[in-house]
Amino acid sequence: MRKIDSINEVVGLVSEIKAQGKTIGLVPTMGALHIGHLSLIEKARKENDIIICSVFVNPIQFNNQEDLDKYPRDIEKDCLLLEDAGCDYVFSPSAEEVYAEKPTETFNFGALETVMEGKMRPGHFNGVATIVSRLFNWINPTRAYFGEKDFQQLAIIKDMVRQLNSPVEIVPCPIVRESDGLAMSSRNMRLSEEKRAIASKINSILKKSVSMKENISLSQIKSFVKNEFSLLKDFELEYFELVDDATLQPVNQKGENGVVGCVAVWLGGVRLIDVIRYY
């Protein structure tokens, strides 16, 4: 496996790969890799000739400077994990090179970005779309792989591809969970031992609410989940929404599309998100 830090170098490499008629699978990450990330590499490995994983903590998608400063970074460990997983290239540019000039990209995702993460983190998705569109431009992947835990982000990226008329195929990948049900996240390592021991309650509450869906309304499910979190003093619920899985708009009853529940909570100063499907 080879590590590349320069944009020019990765563009040159991609040109050589494309000239050979090979397909490229891209796995964009912010590092601090875990088994969830490696499952994306595994899927990409099965579907492409060459695998490139980007490791870049994107400063312009953070609304909170403290969150950016505390975001875990360990590129050496990441590279070891990626090499074992069969990745071919790691692209890890510096923020100074990526944003040598102030970014000017402006995206409009309409209603997709006015709810949940977009509502709570203004400008976040413009930052995400900026770096992902640049990665697609530099690496020109055949396919790009994203986890479904970031359900709204996945919808945003699909819409970005549509807007840009990009040929990149977006491949959603299932959430990977710890043995106790907690969705794997780089932020989990920031939890204290005490908080980590109770973090699985997020998924437990969601699963319990899904088991009730045939007996109560979606509005009652929403009230149930909010009440359950209110009873846990360690958790601060930021939002819980039941949304149409295509439009991401809140729903009170099942329609033509599926229904997913999206949650964001604070636990011990760490922000955690999860997603579960109802229909």
> Domain ranges in the chain?
2-173, 186-277
Q: What residues are annotated to the active site?
A: 37
CB of 47 closer than 8 Å to CB of 86: no
Fold of 186-277: Pantoate--beta-alanine Ligase; Chain: A,domain 2 (3.30.1300)
Contacts within 8 Å (CB) and 24+ apart, 6-12: 6/93, 6/97, 7/93, 7/97, 7/98, 7/138, 10/52, 10/89, 10/91, 10/93, 10/138, 10/139, 11/138
List, for residues 10-42, the tens digit of each pLDDT value.
Answer: 999 999 999 999 999 999 999 999 999 999 999
pLDDT averaged over the chain? 96
pTM for this structure? 0.94
For domain 2-173, say whether CATH 3.40.50.620 is its number: yes
Q: Tokens 């790691």 label which residue?
A: 90
Predicted confidence band of residue 134 (pLDDT cuts 50, 70, 90): very high
List, for residues 221-276, the tens digit of each pLDDT value.
Answer: 999 999 999 999 999 999 999 999 999 999 998 888 999 999 999 999 999 999 99
